[in-house]
């Protein structure tokens, strides 16, 4: 990937939800970036010293409906010294929650373990239903280098957490992305194929023995993927149709695994509470495949079915540059230099 740790620091995480009404994309920031920069630069992030190594962790949990369980995850996230909970969001259609935390080495490892533990005790995968693919109560735990730390160090952190989770909770673990033990395991979609219901049989296959643990799933918590990666953007586009097959066909066109954009992973699913279809994507390299490129392709393909885009959203936190690239494209800004012309970059 192009994105270096330095780039991540410069474009650091600005919480934004994108609401797209036709064109162009309009962003609504929910975080004062200047205030957040001052927090990082001049004060501690809940027990983190200025020179500490900072790691981001974005665990995904297979619960988006039970508020009591979600509140318990929030309290667990807030209970660990050296870690700050930056954001959390839940989706009832996906039946999934995404948390974003940042902390020092010790804190981020401890909070990741405690969250997996809480999820394993309070989420029963045998009763889980939702639109998003999943294989465990804690589905995936990525670690992302933010400040004073390398991707290689995050790989080691992921392995330490993976071993502890298996040793103490008896949950089988797949290492994925930069931590993967085989090329096939870099891709989360391949790791998760079969989902919770298909995992008992999958783990018996020679090529899919867990990296940590026995070849049998935890009876209620399933299987978890843990690894290190660079930042991605979770980007969803909503369509004014209740025909989910259209969203699935469009997702197949844009995702890299079926010949679409190299750095796009996508599925089509139904938002039952709104009775609309959605193309749900992970943009694993937002510079290699910018958001506007997939957005425009989805808009073009949707028109073939007489369907329009009625909105889009970014889930969780996203690097600022991913959104600036969108603005630069739609505003047709000439000779724009992100590193020089964005005020906040000079304040970090």
Check pLDDT > 80 for residue 84.
yes
Q: Kindly state the DSSP code that residue 257 receives in the 8-state scheme.
A: G
**pLDDT band of 22, cuts 50, 70, 90:** very low
3: tokens are 């994105």
Check pLDDT > 80 for residue 321.
yes
pLDDT at 49: 54
Q: How far apart are CA 110 and CA 26, in angstroms?
A: 38
Q: How far apart are CA 48 and CA 46, in angstroms?
A: 6
Instruction: Tell which residue, 127, 130, 147, 63, has the closest CA to residue 99.
Output: 63
Mean pLDDT on 83-87? 94
pLDDT at 41: 42
* Residues whose CB is less than 8 angstroms from the CB of residue 17 and which lie 6 or more positions away in sequence, other chains included: 27, 28, 30, 313, 314
pLDDT at 48: 56
The residue with tokens 């999943």 is 134
CATH code of the region 233-346: 3.30.70.670
* Residues whose CB is less than 8 angstroms from the CB of residue 256 and which lie 6 or more positions away in sequence, other chains included: 262, 263, 264, 265, 289
Q: How far apart are CA 344 and CA 348, in angstroms?
A: 7
Give ∠ CA 279-284-287 in degrees, rounded to 5: 105
Summarised one tens digit per residue, pLDDT across range 148-167 is 999 999 999 999 999 999 99
pTM here?
Answer: 0.80
294: tokens are 């997939």
State the span(s) of the chain assigned CATH 3.30.990.10: 44-228
The residue with tokens 């790791």 is 191
Mean pLDDT on 238-252? 98
142: tokens are 């990525």
218 catalytically annotated: no
Instruction: Tell which residue, 177, 305, 329, has the closest CA to residue 253.
Output: 305
**pLDDT band of 46, cuts 50, 70, 90:** low
Q: How far apart are CA 296 and CA 277, in angstroms?
A: 17
Q: Are 262 and 217 in contact (CB under 8 A)?
A: no
**pLDDT band of 222, cuts 50, 70, 90:** very high
Exposed/middle/buried for 280, CB within 10 Å: 0-12, 13-18, 19+? buried
The share of the chain scoring above pLDDT 70, in percent, equals: 85
Residue of 88, 132, 218, 346 marked active site: 132
Check pLDDT > 80 for residue 55.
yes
pLDDT at 36: 45
Q: Are 23 and 290 in contact (CB under 8 A)?
A: no
pLDDT at 317: 87
* Window from 49-63, 106-120, 192-206, 243-257 with minimum mean pLDDT: 49-63
CATH code of the region 44-228: 3.30.990.10
104: left (phi over 0), alpha (psi -120 to 50) or beta: beta
Summarised one tens digit per residue, pLDDT across range 106-134 is 999 999 999 999 999 999 999 999 989 99
Instruction: Tell which residue, 183, 171, 193, 179, has the closest CA to residue 144.
Output: 179
**pLDDT band of 143, cuts 50, 70, 90:** very high
pLDDT at 178: 96
Q: Are 247 and 277 in contact (CB under 8 A)?
A: yes
**pLDDT band of 216, cuts 50, 70, 90:** very high
Pinpoint the alpha helices (H) of the chain. 5-10, 33-42, 67-78, 105-122, 151-169, 188-192, 195-202, 244-254, 291-303, 320-331, 338-341
Q: How far is CA 275 from CA 239, 243, 270, in A?
A: 10, 9, 7
State the span(s) of the chain assigned CATH 3.30.70.670: 233-346
pLDDT at 339: 86
């Amino acid at each position: 990937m192009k994105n270096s740790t330095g780039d991540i620091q410069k474009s650091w995480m600005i919480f934004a939800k994108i609401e797209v009404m036709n064109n162009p994309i309009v962003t609504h920031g929910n975080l004062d970036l200047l205030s957040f920069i001052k927090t990082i630069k001049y004060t501690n992030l809940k027990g983190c010293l200025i020179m500490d190594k900072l790691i981001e962790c974005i665990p995904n949990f297979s619960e988006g409906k039970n508020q009591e369980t979600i509140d318990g995850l929030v309290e667990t996230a807030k209970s660990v010294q050296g870690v700050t909970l930056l954001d959390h969001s839940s989706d009832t259609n996906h039946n999934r929650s995404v948390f974003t935390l940042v902390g020092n080495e010790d804190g981020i490892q401890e909070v990741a373990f405690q969250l997996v533990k809480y999820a394993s005790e309070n989420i029963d995968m045998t009763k889980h239903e939702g639109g998003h693919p999943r294989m465990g109560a804690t589905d995936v735990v990525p670690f992302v280098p933010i400040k004073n730390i390398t991707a290689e160090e995050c790989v080691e952190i992921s392995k330490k957490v993976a071993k502890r989770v298996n040793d103490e909770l008896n949950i089988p673990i797949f290492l994925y992305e930069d931590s993967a033990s085989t090329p096939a395991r870099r891709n989360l979609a391949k790791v998760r194929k079969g989902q919770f219901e298909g995992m008992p049989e999958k783990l018996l296959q020679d090529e899919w023995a867990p990296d940590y643990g026995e070849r049998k799933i935890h009876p209620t918590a399933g299987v978890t993927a843990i690894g290190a990666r660079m930042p991605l953007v979770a980007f969803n586009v909503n369509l004014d149709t209740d025909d989910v097959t259209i969203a699935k066909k469009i997702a197949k066109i844009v995702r890299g695994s079926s010949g679409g954009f190299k750095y796009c992973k996508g599925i089509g699913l139904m938002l039952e509470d709104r009775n609309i279809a959605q193309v749900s994507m992970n943009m694993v390299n937002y510079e290699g495949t910018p958001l506007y490129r997939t957005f425009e392709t989805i808009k073009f393909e949707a028109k073939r079915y007489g369907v329009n885009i009625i909105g889009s959203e970014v889930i969780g936190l996203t690097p600022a540059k991913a959104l600036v690239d969108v603005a630069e494209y739609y505003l047709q800004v000439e000779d724009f230099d992100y590193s020089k012309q964005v005020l906040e970059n000079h304040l970090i």
